Structure 1
Amino acid sequence: MIYFDNSATTKVNSESLDTYVKVSESIWGNPSSLHDFGEKSFQLLQQSRKQIANLLNVRTNEIYFTSGGTEGDNWVIKGTALAKQQYGKHIITTSIEHPAVINTCKQLEKQGYDVTYLPVDKSGRISLSALKSAIRKDTILVSIMLVNNEIGSIQPIVEAAEVLKNFPSIHFHVDAVQGIGKGLNYILKNNRIDFLTFSGHKFHAPRGIGFIYKKFGRHIESLMDGGGQESNLRSGTENLPAIASMAKSLRLLMEDESSSVNNQISIKKIIYNHLDKFENVTIFSKLDEKEFAPHILCFAISGVRGETIVHAFEDNGIYISTTSACSSKKKETSGTLNAMEVPQSLSDSAVRVSLDENNTIEEARQFNQVFDVLYAKFSKING
C-alpha cells in the first residue's frame, strides 16, 4: 500500500501511540483533582504544554489545547468577534480558506458581521494590495491560512504581517494546520501573528486533539464554558493521553525537519516532472518552494472525474484524494480551484497527492508507473 493522503490525516506513529497507551493506563487522574494522583496528571499536562511551547519558541501560557483544527479556527474567529464587537464587526479572510474558517465566517455574517473574502490569483495566492484596500476602521480580524489544503499554495503571511504592523488593534490569525513540519517555521515565528491553529492528526498524533497559540495579551472570548480549564478559556476535562501523545508527535516531527522536507520535495519533483509530460494533465501545484508547500501536489486529467481517478489508483493500492477530504464524499467541487477561476470541467477532475516524511522515492516511481497505465486506459475510453 502507498498512502499519499497525508493532508487528510496521518498515521499515528508508534512512539506517540505508546505514550497514549501508557498515560491512559497509568496517569488517568483528573488534572483538576486536588489529590496527588490528580496533581501527577496536572504536571504531565503542563509538561506537555511546555514542550510544545518550547518547540514553537513561545511562552508556555500561550498554548491552549483544543479538539483539533476546526475547533481552533472556530474559537479564534468567533472568540475575536465576541471580544471585539464593540470596536467593529468587519472580518477579512480569503476565498480559499478551509471550511472551518469559511463556514464560521458565513455564520457570523448571519449575525450581522461583515466579511471580506480576498480573491486569489491563478496560483491561489492573495495580493497584498487587496488586503490593504480591504482594511477598514471597523476591521477586527484578519484570518489567512498558511498553506492551502487543496493545492498547497503558501500565502504571503510575512508580507501580510508587515501590512498589519500599521494596524496593531486588528487580530491576525493564521490557520497553520497544513504548515507545521514543512520548513515554514520562519513564518510561524513572525511576532505580528496573534493566533495560530494546529491539528494533531496532521502530524501523527491521535485524532480529536489540537492546540492554538494565543499571543500573550491578546483577548478572545471562550466558546466552551464550564469548569474553567485552560485558564478559564476552554472548559472541559483535558484529554491528557492525546495531549501527551501530541507533544511527543510534534517533537518527533521537528527533530529532523530539514531532511524530511527535502525528501518530500524530491518526491514531489519526481511526480511533477512525470505528470508534466502529458498533454491532458493540468498541474495546479507548482515546484516553487517559496510559494508552494513541499507535500501537496494537485493535478487533473481532462475528461476524467476526480473520484474516478481516486478509485482507479485505489484499485492499484495507492491512496490519494480529491482536493479536500472534508468535501470529497459530498462530491463538492474544489472551492480553491473555483476561486482561481479554473473551469468547472477541469475542477471536477482534480485530485490531490499529499506526502509526509514516511513516503519514499520508490513510492513516487511506483505512482508514476501506475499513472502511465491509467492514463493510457482513460485516453482509450475518452477516444
Structure 2
Amino acid sequence: MSSTTTTPADGHADLARTLTEIERQLAANDLPAPVEPDPAEPEPAPDTADGENEPAPDLHPGVAGRARRSGITRRVRRRAAEHAEAHQLLALESDTAPFAVTTEKVRARRKAVEQAAALWRLDRDPRVLAYRDARVRRLVLAVALVSLTLALAWSTAGVQAFAAEGAPAGSPRWWFAWLAEPFCSLALLMVVAGRAYLTTRGQPLQDKAVDRTEWVFLGLTLGMNAWPHLPGVADAFTVSGLVLHLLGPVVAVAVVRCLPRLLAAFAGLELPDDAVPAGPGEGPEQAATPPGEGEGPGGIAALDPTQPPPGSPVAERGGTRPVRAVPARRTPPARRSTRLPEPKRRTLDQLREEFKTALAARPAGFDPDNGEAIRRTLRCGKKFSVQLRDDYRAGRIG
C-alpha cells in the first residue's frame, strides 16, 4: 500500500502558478497590478447611487473588485476620454485650412460679378451699339407704319360716307366710294416710305414739292372725314362724333410728320466717349480701361490668375496671427506688335476746305447737317465735325 506525500516544494510551485495566472489576466485587461489594502484602514463601501463609481461592466468579476479598489471607475474613464478629446480639438484650432477654401456662395458671387463685368464691356462695344440701334429703328419704323395703316383704314369708313352721299347700299356709287380713301392712302404711304428709307441711309429728303404733296393728301383725308359732321352740316352735331371721325386723320398726320425726324435722329447717333471695341478673345479675366485723350481705346489690364482674389483677412484662430489676403496685381498693358498709323493732324481751316470740296462733290453718305456724317466723311474728330456743321448752318461755309 503506497501513500502520496506532498512536499513543501510542490506547494510553492502551485502558488507561483496561481500568481502567474493573476498577472496574465490583469495584463489582458490593461489594469495595474492589484494593490493590497492597508489592513489598518477599512475598505470604503462603493457609492453606487448613480453608477458613477461602478467599474466597466465588461470586466471579469474577479478583476472588477481590484479595478474598484485601484480607483479606475467609469467616471474616471469618461473624464479621461473628455480630456483626450479636448487635447485633439486644441491641436486642430490652429489649423486655418478650412477657412481658406472657397465656398459655393463665394464662387456664385464671383461668377455673377464676372458676368456683369463682361456685359458692361459688351454694352460699350460699337458693334453692339450699332446692332441695338438698328433693332430699335426697325421696331419704331414697323410700329409707325402699322399705326399709319390702321389710322388710314379707320378714316376709310368716314370718307366712304362722304363720297357715297346717301347712295343705296350695293349700288355702283356706293362701291366706288370705298375706293376714295385707299388710293389717297396708298399715295401717302408711298411718299412716307420713300422719305423714311432715304433718312435711314443718311440722305433725308428735303423737298418742298414732296412736303406739299403730303399736306394735300392729309388735308383731303381730314376734310372728307370732318365735313359731314361739322356744325351746320350735320343734322345733329355732336363733338364726340366729330372727334371720332377726326381721330384717324390726326394720327396719320402725326405719324407722317414725326417719323422722318425720328429716323434722322437714329441716323445721327454717335458713339459714346467710353465706347471700347471688345477683343476677339476677351474673357471675364480682362478688364477694359476707359480710353485716354487719344482716338483709340485704352489698354487692357489683365488680372494675374496665380494670385488669390482680394478679400478680408482671415479671423484669428487659436492665438495665431491672421492671414492677410494678397491683393491682385495689375499687369501693365502689353504693347502690340504692330503700330497703327497715326492719323494726320489737320487744322480747322484745312477741314473747312475739305468740307467745301465734299459739299461740292456730295460723296455717298455725306450730309452737311449731320455731324456724324461729316466725321465719317472727313475722318476728323467729333469736336471739329460739330463745328463744321454749325458753321454750315450759320452760313459761314457754303
TM-score of the two chains, using structure 2 as the length reference:
0.20
Larger radius of gyration: 2
Q: Looking at secondary structure, tell me which structure has more strand per residue.
A: 1
TM-score of the two chains, using structure 1 as the length reference:
0.20
Q: Looking at secondary structure, tell me which structure has more helix per residue.
A: 2
